[in-house]
Amino acid sequence: MNNSLKILFDEHEIISEAVQLAQDAKYLIGKDNEQFKLVIRELLVFFRIYADEYHHHKEEKILFPEMMKKNELLADGVIKEMFDNHAYFRELLQVVALDMEQQNFTGASSKIDEYSEALLDHIAVENEELFQSADSLFTDSELELLHYRFVDLDEDMGGTQKKDLAEKIRQLKINSIV
């Protein structure tokens, strides 16, 4: 697998860790609501910034447009589905945030479950179909250029923030759910 696509795969691994934490957080409801609020607050930050701003924007601003240039048929198929998924994820996170503001922990947990399941399905489609298509669509030099564009986007957005978000999720995972 080319380095440019490995960046996306690696981000999927970290996002999947956060999804597991999100799924485990529901067991805190009624036992430790303060801990639940803390975990969900941190997850909302992670999903909005790391998963959406860093990861999804790489796909939306760089990968998907380049893939559509190579194969216009992708625009109405799997790429449209991925764009639609990203919009749906943003909507779900807004509902979770609203539920949390209203102290509706059960509602927030339900939407987090919906988000988690949809996100894992999305990641599977990207890993197993979309990224494989990208690997075959582009030459090695084109993939290398994508890699540098991904790295530049991360740096423009604050590369240390991305690393800090991933580390915080890993620490939360260790410290919060038994």
Using CB atoms within 10 A of its CB, is residue 43 exposed (0-12), middle (13-18) or buried (19+)? buried
Helices 140-157 + 159-176 axis angle, to 10: 80
Look at residue 124 in the predicted model and tell me its pLDDT.
97
pLDDT given for residue 30 in this prediction: 87
**Which pTM value belongs to this model?**
0.93
> Mean pLDDT score of the chain, rounded to an integer?
92
The tens digit of pLDDT for each residue in 55-91 reads 999 999 999 999 999 998 888 889 999 999 999 999 9
Which residues, in sequence order, are CB contacts of 132 under 8 Å at separation 6+? Answer: none
**Mean pLDDT, rounded, for 95-113:** 96
Digit-coded pLDDT (tens) for 142-155: 999 999 999 999 99
Asked whether residue 177 carries a pLDDT value surpassing 90, the answer given is no
Rounded average pLDDT over 7-16: 96
CATH numbers and ranges of domains, the chain? 3-173 (1.20.120.520)
Rounded CA gap, 1 and 22, in Å?
A: 29
